Structure 1
Amino acid sequence: MMGSVTGGMGLRDSSWAASVITGAVLSSLVWYFGDWSGSPVVCSLFMASVVFISIWLLLVREDFFCWPHPALWRVVMAASILYSMLLTCMFWLPPKQARMVLRRTLWIQVLEFPQLLMRRAMARTVLSHSALIMRNRSVLWIQSITFELIEESVKSVLPNFNECWWDRWVLDVLLCNFVGMEIGLFLINRFAEPFNWFTLTHERARPPHEESRVPSFLTSREHFLTVCFVVGIGPLVDLINFLLKAALFIPAESPLVLCNLLLVGLPCLVGVPEIYATLSVSGHFRIGSQGAVLLYSVLMELALSWKLSSDTFPANGLKSIPVVARALWTLALLLLLGFTAMLPFGRNEPVPGSIAKKRKVF
C-alpha cells in the first residue's frame, strides 16, 4: 500500500521547518531580483501564494495520505484554498472586470506550454484521473452514461455539446472512457485498494454464516445517500467545468484548462477516499477538510458560471432545454427522493472497535 489514513511526522520536525522557510525566502529573492516579464499583479499574487503555502506546510499536522510525502498533499490543500479564494474574489467582481482579471493578470504567460505536450498531458490525465478517484467500475460507468445524458439535455445551452450519436456513445463512452477506466483500475488494483461503494460488508457486524442478497447500500439511508453523492458529484464537476470555460471565454487550448483540471482532480484524490474511509469504518457520511474545500470551490464555480451567464448563454437559459428532457430529469429526481424516503433510517453498524482501526485506503 502507498499510504494510510494517518500520516507520519511529515514537516513537524524542526529541520523541515528550516527547509520550508529557506525555500520560501530563496523563492522570494529569485523572483524579486529576476527579470520577469509578467505583470506586477501576477508577481504579487505568486509571492503571496508562496508565503501562504509555506505557512500551511509548517502549521498543518493532520495528514490523510503520506505517499509519496505528506508535504505534497499539504501543498494540494493549500492550492485548493487559494483557488477557492480566487473564485470568491472573481464572484464579487462585475462580469467584465472578472474576465479582465483572468485575461490580463492571471493568464499564464510565464509558463509557455508546448501545445502538443499540453494536449498529451491532458489526455493522460483525463483518461485515468476519474478511475483513480472513484476506484469502482460500476460508479465509473454510471457517471459516464449520466454525463452523456446531461450533454444531450443541455446541448442547446452549450453548443459544443452538439455531437452525433456515434461520437457521443461510441467514441466517448465505449472507446475513450472505457480505455481510461481500464487503465485507471489496473493502476488501482496494482498499487492501491479498490473501493466497494455498493457492497461494504467486510467491516459490518454481521455473523459470518449470514449472507444477505440485498446490497449493503440499500440497507441504510445514509449509505445510499453517500453513494448518490459520490456518483452525482463527478458529472456535476465536469458540467461546471464546461460552463465555467464558456462563461469566462477560456479556449480549450489554454493552460488554464489544465490548471483547473489539476486544482479539482488532485483534491479529489484525497476528498473521495476520506468519504470512503469514514463510511467503511464508522458507517457515517462525512466530508473531510479537503473535501469541504473542494466542495466549496465547485459551488463557487457554479455560482460564478451562473452570474456570468447573462451575456454568455442564450437569453432564455434553462428554458431552452427541451421540455421532455426537463420532465425526465424531474421525474428521475422525484423517484430518487421517493426511494430514499422508503429506505430505513440510520447506518450500518461497524464491528466494535473498528472506528479506531487505522484503515489503509491508498
Structure 2
Amino acid sequence: PQDAADCQLGGTSRESLHRRNTECEVFDDGTNTFFWRAHTVTVLFILTCALVYVTLLEETPQDTAYNTKRGIVASILVFLCFGVTQAKDGPFTRPHPAYWRFWLCVTVVYELFLIFILFQTVHDGRQFMKYIDPKLGVPLPERDYGGNCLIYDPGNTTDPFHNIWDKMDGFVPAHFLGWYIKTLMIRDWWMCMIISVMFEFLEYSLEHQLPNFSECWWDHWIMDVLVCNGLGIYCGMKTLAWLSMKPYQWQGLWNIPTYKGKIKRIAFQFTPYSWVKFEWKPASNLRRWLAVLGIIFMFLLAELNTFYLKFVLWMPPEHYLVLLRLVFFVNVGGVAMREIYDFMDDPKFHKKLGQQAWLVAAITVTEFLIVVKYDPNTIMLPIPFFITQCWLLGIFLIFTWTLWRFFIRDITLRYKETRRRKQEAPADRDRPLGNGNTAAPSGRSKLNGSSDTLRQRKA
C-alpha cells in the first residue's frame, strides 16, 4: 500500500515525518482474502463474455438513437472496468482501493462530458440534455427565496410563522449534510467558517444575476450560516475528533472469534485505514498562504457552478443529475483535498499534484467556462457599485496583509537583527579582560586593528 511506501521512504519536514510515523503504527494481519485480490483476469473474462453475447446472440435494434446511447454507455463501462482494475491507487484504501479507482475513472468521464458540452452551440448543448432525460431542454423559472422577510407575520392569523415554514424545504438538510461532509474534507474549523460566510457574501453580490440568490437576511445568517452550516461544521469537527482518537489496529475478519466482533469489523471497514490531521498553517510561508487562498477560491467557484450550471442548462434544482453531481463531488473531494495537503506539506516527497486533485481543478474550471459560454449576458450583468467597492476593499486588504506579512515584516526583522549584531560588536570589543582592565591596543593593532576586529570584518 501507499502508506507503507511512505513509511519506508520517510519525509523531509518534522510534521510530515511525524505523520508518516503515525501511519506506520497502523498494522494489519496481512490476510490475502478474496476481497483484497485484484481479479484482473476475472473482470477481463466477464467483460469478454458480455461483448461476445452482444455480438453473436443479441439482435441489434433498428433504432439509431437507442444504439448510440447504448454504445456510449458500453464504452464508459469498459473504461470503468479498466480503471477499477488497472488505475493508479490514491491515498485512500478504505473501504477498498477499487472504490476510489472507480471514482477516479468517473472523474475522467465527467470531464470528457463537460468538454463535449463546451464544444457545442448553446442550442445544441441544451437540446443534447434531452438524450439524457426527455424532460430537460425546457427553460425553467427560478424560485425566489426573498419577498416577505418577516419572521413573525401578524397579518396572517392562521400561521404567523409561515415565512419560516416556507423556507424549510429539502435544501435545509442538504445544507447540513453538505457542510458536514465538507468539514470532513477540509478538517479545519476556520477554513470551513470562512468559506461558509464568504458564500453568503457571494449570494448577496450575485442576487441580481440569479433570482434564487435573493434571500431574507435571517435566511442568510441564521438558517444558513448558524443553523445548517454551523451545525454541520460542529458535527463534522466532533467526528474528526473521534477519528483522531480512535485506535487503528486492524485485524482480519476471519481471525475475529465472535460474530459481534465481525460485524464491528465490517462497520469499521468504512472508516479510514489511518488518520492524518490537517494543519494548514496558512501564515507560515507565502507558498502555503497562496495555496490556502487557492483552495478557498476553488471551493467557492465549485459552489457557484452548482447554481449557474442548472441555470444555463435548464435543469430544475430537484433533478437527479444535480444530485448525482453533488454525490460525485462528495466522493472525489476528500481524495483531492488529501492530495493537495500532501503536495503542500511535503513537496519534496510529493513532487507533483495528485491525479484526483488535478482532475477536480480541471472540472471546476470547465464548468465555469460552460457557464460563461452558454449565458454570457447573465455573467456580465454589472455588479452594483457599492458591492464592487466592498470586494475591492477586501482584495486590497488581503493584498496589503500578504505584502506586510511575507515581505515587509521579513525585511524589518532582518534589519533589526543586523542592527542588533552591529550594536553587540562594539560591546564585545570593549569587554574587560580577566584582571579588570580593558585590552590596550598595540601599535600594530592601532594601524591594522586587532585580530578579533579583523576577523569580524572578514566575517
For the aligned residue pairs, the C-alpha RMSD in angstroms reads: 3.5
Residue 368 of structure 2 aligns to a residue in which SS?
helix
**In the alignment, what sits opposite 1:324?**
386
Calculate the TM-score normalised by the size of structure 2.
Answer: 0.60
Could you say what secondary structure the match of 2:375 adopts?
Answer: helix
Aligned to 2:320: 255
Question: 2:310 matched to 1:287?
Answer: no
Quick check: 1:19 aligned with 2:84? Answer: no
* 1-structure distance, mates of 2:53, 2:224: 45
Corresponding residue of 1:229: 294
Kindly indicate whether the alpha-carbon contact (under 8 Å) linking 1:137 and 1:181 is maintained by their aligned counterparts in 2: yes
- Cα separation, 2, equivalents of 1:281 and 1:144: 28
Question: Secondary structure of the residue that 1:67 maps to in structure 2?
Answer: coil
Matches of 1:341 and 1:61 in 2, distance apart? 40
Change (3 A) 1:31 1:340: farther
User: How many angstroms apart in 2 are the aligned matches of 1:82 and 1:164?
Assistant: 39
Name the residue aligned to 1:137. 189
Q: Which moved more, 1:297-306 or 1:278-287?
A: 278-287
**What do the CA deviations read for 1:22-41 (whole angstroms, capped 9, x no partner)?**
45446668999699999433
Alignment of 1:1-362 (within 5 A): 4=3, 16-25=39-48, 39-102=66-129, 104-107=130-133, 122=174, 125-191=177-243, 192-198=275-281, 217-282=282-347, 287-310=353-376, 313=378, 317-344=379-406
Q: Distance in 2 between matches of 1:238 and 1:55?
A: 31
Q: Is residue 275–residue 285 contact of structure 1 (8 Å, CA) maintained in 2?
A: no
Secondary structure in structure 1 of the residue aligned to 2:346: helix
Q: Percent identity?
A: 23
CA–CA distance in structure 2, aligned partners of residues 269 and 166 of structure 1? 31
SS of the residue 2:231 aligns to:
helix
Q: TM-score normalized by structure 1?
A: 0.75
Q: Which amino acid aligns with 2:41?
A: A
Residues 247, 309 of structure 1: 8 Å contact kept: yes
Structure 1 residue matching 2:39: 3-state secondary structure = helix
Which residue number in structure 2 is paired with residue 349 of structure 1? none
Query: Does structure 1 retain, via aligned residues, the 8 Å contact 2:209–2:381?
Result: no
Give the superposition deviation at 1:196: 2.1
* 1:263 CA drift (Å): 2.4
Contact 1:279 1:286 in 2 (8 A): no
Q: Which moved more, 1:176-185 or 1:241-250?
A: 176-185
Aligned length: 312
Is the Cα contact below 8 Å between 2:38 and 2:85 reproduced in 1? Answer: no
Alpha carbons of structure 1 residues 174 and 25: separation in structure 2 relative to 1, 3 Å: farther
Say whether the 8 Å CA contact 1:135–1:185 is kept in structure 2: yes
When structure 1 is superposed on structure 2, of 26-35 and 254-263 the one drifting more is 26-35
- Conserved in 2, the CA contact under 8 Å of 1:56 and 1:74? yes
Alignment correspondent of 1:359: none
Tell whether the 8 Å contact from 1:223 to 1:285 is kept in structure 2 after alignment. no
The separation in 1 between residues aligned to 2:80 and 2:116, in whole angstroms, is 19
Unaligned runs of 5+ in 1: 110-117, 199-216, 346-362
- 8 A Cα contact 2:207 2:214, kept in partner: yes
Over 3 Å counting, the alpha-carbon distance change for 1:169 and 1:278 in structure 2 is: same
CA offsets, 1:143-189, max 9 Å, x none? 00000000000000011011010011000110000121122222222
- Alpha-carbon deviation of 1:259? 1.1
Does the C-alpha gap of structure 1 residues 15 and 246 become closer, same or farther in structure 2, counting only changes over 3 Å? closer
- Tell me how far apart the structure 1 counterparts of residues 292 and 92 of structure 2 sit (CA, whole Å): 22
Q: Any gaps of 5 or more consecutive residues in structure 2? A: 7-29, 136-169, 244-274, 408-459
TM-fit CA distance, 1:46: 1.5
Q: Taking structure 1 as reference, are residues 331 and 187 closer, same or farther at Cα in structure 2, changes over 3 Å only? A: same
Partner Cα separation in structure 2 for residue 186 and residue 55 of structure 1: 38
Distance 1:25 1:250 in 2: 37
Specify the code of the residue in structure 2 equivalent to 1:197. Answer: W
Instruction: Please tell me whether the aligned partners of residues 183 and 236 of structure 2 are also in contact (alpha carbons under 8 angstroms).
Output: yes
Moved more, 23-32 or 169-178: 23-32
